[in-house]
Amino acid sequence: MKTRSKSTALKPAPPPDPASLPQRVPPRGPIALAHADVSQLDALHSPCDLRRDLHAFVNYVRDRSVKRAVRGNTLPKADAARLAKLMSAPAAPEEVQRDGSARWIDFVDHIALRLDLVSYDTKGVYAGYTSQEASFPDNHIVVNASKYEQFIGQTLAAQERKLLDLLTEDHRRNDWDSSYNEFYTAGVLGRLERFDIRGAATGVMPSLEFAKTRRFLLEVLAQCEPGVWLSTAALVAYLKAEHPFFLIPQEPRLSERDRMYGRYGNFYEHIGDRWAQGVAVPDDAADGFKRVEGRYVERFLEGATLTLGYVDVAYGESPAKGIHPERGVLQAFRVKSLLARALRGQIEEPAVTVQPNFEVYVQAEVYPARVLMELARFGEVMSSDIVTIVKLHREKVADALARDEKLDLTGLLRRLAGRDLPQNVARELREWTQHSEKFTLYVGFGLLEGDVDLAAADEFTMEQIKPGIRLVRSAEELYGRLEQLAAMPLLVKHADTALHPLPPGARTVFPIPAPAAPKPGEKPAVTLQRETTVTLHFPSEAVLEEFRGALLEVRCSFEVNKGLRTITYAGRHEGQVAAVVKALGQKYRIAVADLG
């Protein structure tokens, strides 16, 4: 056995030489592996649904303004607690309560970011010269709406492929990172110990092609008998016999510096204490394949495959007690038929059935986000599993129809179901459509009470409520227009809390307050409304006519008395009159003197 203790400087790996890479030819036929008895094992069927929780996460951050923590860039505890209730991980609420975060929620957050469904700062800023770590001030999560629409607009098979590719790709956190793989990093649902990170950047590690290895193993699993528990040891034995170089090439490509590591020289086992001095697995060890590739296979099974629900796994006691990282613990696995269909792009679109009791059954192998998002607007999700049941509600349907006049719910349901709706449902939907139009609220409009044939108001009129009352747009602009036409309009701006009473004499359907009856012995109250008018006296009829013409041009309301050579106007038109005086000032020297 050889030991390695010296550290090695991290350098990005050069591109691999194709000749030195392992030949991974996927098996063409079924693989017969020994069945496993899991009665004494701890079987794990993942309760988490990544597809569903991704949408729960995106919808949550879209509806709320989520600002990440300044220190650590984590989700705030309050948001994590709410997300825990929305997501499928049963342990998440307790985990958040205890630790302030939950692995599953952080994982979903991470996947949403890598899928580009959301965005936020991941680099941060160093607040000061002595800062030990980056800060993330005002780091809000933003939903990339177009990317999200694009994602859920794809077929379920394409969505699944995208998730599968993402979880199996060779993801590195930076150019020097070779540790983001099953050997060193635990999957979100993984339980097994990992290798010591000390060997992560040395030996064969930087040259290994994990993405191709994972896809090859998925192909192998897809050829295994589905639905029965199979022995992991049998799978490792099969790989050793048929594909011994599926992970590490026969002739590993090693740099001059790393040649001393050999094939397994950077995989350290710790005897007794997990943190004891590591001992590298010898290249010539008879069980070297089990100790390195075997450990990889175990960790692969509890990685992306378990996360995506393609396998169930069963854990037992380690046969080699006291050796770390443990091996032989994940003793059995059960492949689901979903895996083969996901790999072949054969996941079918959801089957939608509308029942006469207004329940819509949506049957899908994976979470049908698009269909459920559409249906959730019209009803309540009663149960969510392989078959999701959405009960249509009259209020929700009416509300959706009220918001979107062009919505054709019957057509939408018919398109989703691929057949006509039950007759009673179609009939009710028609009635619900009418129901949505029973109360129409006009916001930002005004009312005009006036002459029936007021042509100037026609272009502002939205509805003729009854002769003499119109629903109008841009009410204040209409008022200005009527003023210009000398129609003597009255502008009533109502208070937010009550309708403003109109003055006596107005022609209106609005209330005009009657004078309050005086109490016995009390003097009656009288309110006098005051308006100031101005009368201009002209020295000659010619000047009067010229002035009158100018006032008409600026559409000012006034009265003329030719006998007395006077023009009388309301005080509020002073501005228009002043403009006319100024204009005529070019022709006359005009002075205005008040009569004694």
Partner 1 sequence: MEARWGKQIVHTNLLIARITDPALRVQIERAAAIPNSLIVLSDEYIAFPRAMLGVIEKTLARSGHVIKTVQST
442: left (phi over 0), alpha (psi -120 to 50) or beta: beta
CB-nearer residue toward partner 1: 228 or 462: 462
Q: Which of 395, 420, 458, 574 binds partner 1 (CB under 8 A)?
A: 395
How far apart CA 209 and CA 170 sit, in angstroms, is 7
CB-nearer residue toward partner 1: 458 or 476: 476
How far apart CA 280 and CA 2 sit, in angstroms, is 6
Residue 407 binding partner 1, by CB under 8 A: no
CB-nearer residue toward partner 1: 77 or 435: 435
Residue 442 binding partner 1, by CB under 8 A: yes
Identify which of 149, 146, 163 has the alpha carbon closest to the alpha carbon of residue 108: 163
CB-nearer residue toward partner 1: 14 or 503: 503
Sketch the per residue contact string, 315 through 354, with partner 1: x for CB under 8 A, - otherwise: ----------------------------------------
CB of 465 to partner 1, least distance (A): 5
Residue 529 binding partner 1, by CB under 8 A: no
CB of 569 to partner 1, least distance (A): 9
How far apart CA 417 and CA 406 sit, in angstroms, is 20
Cβ proximity of 499 and 510 under 8 Å: yes
Identify which of 254, 272, 274, 273 has the alpha carbon closest to the alpha carbon of residue 264: 254
Cα 345 to its chain centre, rounded Å, is: 26
CB of 403 to partner 1, least distance (A): 8
Residue 562 binding partner 1, by CB under 8 A: no
CB of 452 to partner 1, least distance (A): 11
Give backbone dihedrals phi and psi of 348, rounded to 5 degrees, phi first. Answer: -80, 160
Residue 482 binding partner 1, by CB under 8 A: yes
Q: Which of 570, 579, 581, 584 binds partner 1 (CB under 8 A)?
A: 570
Sketch the per residue contact string, 355 through 394, with partner 1: x for CB under 8 A, - otherwise: ---------------------------------------x
CB of 453 to partner 1, least distance (A): 12
CB of 166 to partner 1, least distance (A): 41
CB-nearer residue toward partner 1: 24 or 394: 394
3-state secondary structure of 567: strand
Q: Which of 116, 242, 420, 451 binds partner 1 (CB under 8 A)?
A: 451
Beta-bridged to residue 483, according to DSSP, are none
Strands (E), 145-274: 229-231, 268-271
How far apart CA 353 and CA 347 sit, in angstroms, is 18
Residue 595 binding partner 1, by CB under 8 A: no
Q: 29 burial class (0-12, 13-18, 19+ CB within 10 angstroms)? A: exposed
CB-nearer residue toward partner 1: 135 or 508: 508
**What element of type H or E holds 448?**
strand 446-449
Q: Which of 6, 28, 173, 466 binds partner 1 (CB under 8 A)?
A: 466
**What element of type H or E holds 470?**
strand 469-472
Q: Which of 84, 108, 205, 472 binds partner 1 (CB under 8 A)?
A: 472
Tell me the C-alpha to C-alpha distance, in Å, between residue 162 and each of 53, 148, 168, 302: 16, 13, 10, 20
CB of 457 to partner 1, least distance (A): 8
Q: How many residues does the chain have?
A: 596
DSSP one-letter code for 575? H
Site for partner 1 in 485-504 (CB under 8 A): 486-499, 501-503
3-state secondary structure of 444: coil
Tell me the C-alpha to C-alpha distance, in Å, between residue 199 and each of 149, 204, 269, 492: 42, 10, 11, 82
Cβ proximity of 249 and 298 under 8 Å: no
Residue 516 binding partner 1, by CB under 8 A: no
Rg, the chain, Cα only: 40
CB-nearer residue toward partner 1: 31 or 469: 469
Judged by CB under 8 A, the number of residues near partner 1 is: 66
CB of 410 to partner 1, least distance (A): 18
Residue 476 binding partner 1, by CB under 8 A: yes
Q: Which of 59, 318, 557, 566 binds partner 1 (CB under 8 A)?
A: 557
Identify which of 187, 397, 474, 437 has the alpha carbon closest to the alpha carbon of residue 305: 187
Q: Which of 190, 303, 379, 446 binds partner 1 (CB under 8 A)?
A: 446
How far apart CA 488 and CA 493 sit, in angstroms, is 16
Residue 181 binding partner 1, by CB under 8 A: no
Residue 448 binding partner 1, by CB under 8 A: yes
Cα angle 101-105-110, degrees, rounded to a multiple of 5: 110
Q: Which of 135, 231, 353, 474 binds partner 1 (CB under 8 A)?
A: 474
**Which residues of this protein are in contact with partner 1, per CB under 8 A?**
394-395, 398-399, 401-403, 435-451, 454, 462-463, 465-466, 469, 471-476, 478-479, 482, 486-499, 501-503, 505-511, 557, 559, 570
